[in-house]
Amino acid sequence: MIRIFFLILALLSFGPHCYVSASSGDDTARIEAELKQIEETRRQAIKNGDEKILDQIYADDFTAIAGSGQIVNKQQLMAVFKRNDPAITFTTDEIHVRVFGSTALFTGRLVGRNDKGETTTASRFTHVFVQRDGRWQCVAGQSTPLAQVRTQ
């Protein structure tokens, strides 16, 4: 059960170092800054249990596929957030963002470590954001667990 928790949580995490493509000039910088701010807001909302902000970030029609193959909707995801384990710290890297008009595709790697610094979970993820009514919302996600978890 705890493994499913971490895999579902992986569906939501993308890092602050994003690379934006398929857009140009000022639009690219503006979109990148906007998406970075959403990520920071999302991270703080998860940490603080702020359901109102998370509700705004995730679309009502959000759907994800966990590493186990389980389909997860927004309601199930919010239940996972309520069980957040503060002893696990998540970091992301290898982040790439591609922007196609009003759609953004995120890919990256998520690593969870316990308070001893031991890796407890690692996965790769994809998130899809769509701009609706002038703001970005997460509409889909997918997570794939990494076969070998290394501690550092």
Please say whether the beta carbons of 32 and 40 come within 8 A: no
Residue 106 lies in a domain: yes
Q: What is the dihedral of CA 81, 85, 88, 89, to 10 degrees?
A: 40
Q: Is the pLDDT of residue 136 over 60?
A: yes
| Whole-number Å distance between alpha carbons of 10 and 87 | 16
- Least confident span in 18-27, 112-121, 122-131: 18-27
Encoded tokens for 137: 């919302």
Residue 152: pLDDT band by 50, 70, 90 thresholds? low
Encoded tokens for 124: 């790769």
Tens digit of each residue's pLDDT (9 = 90 or more) over 6-58: 445 544 443 333 333 444 557 867 887 787 778 768 767 877 889 999 999 99
Residue ranges making up the domain that contains 57: 2-145
Q: What is the pLDDT, as a whole number, of residue 66?
A: 92
Q: What is the pLDDT, as a whole number, of residue 89?
A: 82
Quote the pTM value.
0.77
Residue 33 lies in a domain: yes
Residue 57 lies in a domain: yes
Of 130, 132, 88, the C-alpha closest to 110 is 88
Residue 138 lies in a domain: yes
Residue 29 lies in a domain: yes
CATH of the domain at 132: 3.10.450.50
Residue 150 lies in a domain: no
* H/E stretch holding 34: helix 25-48
Number of domains in the chain: 1
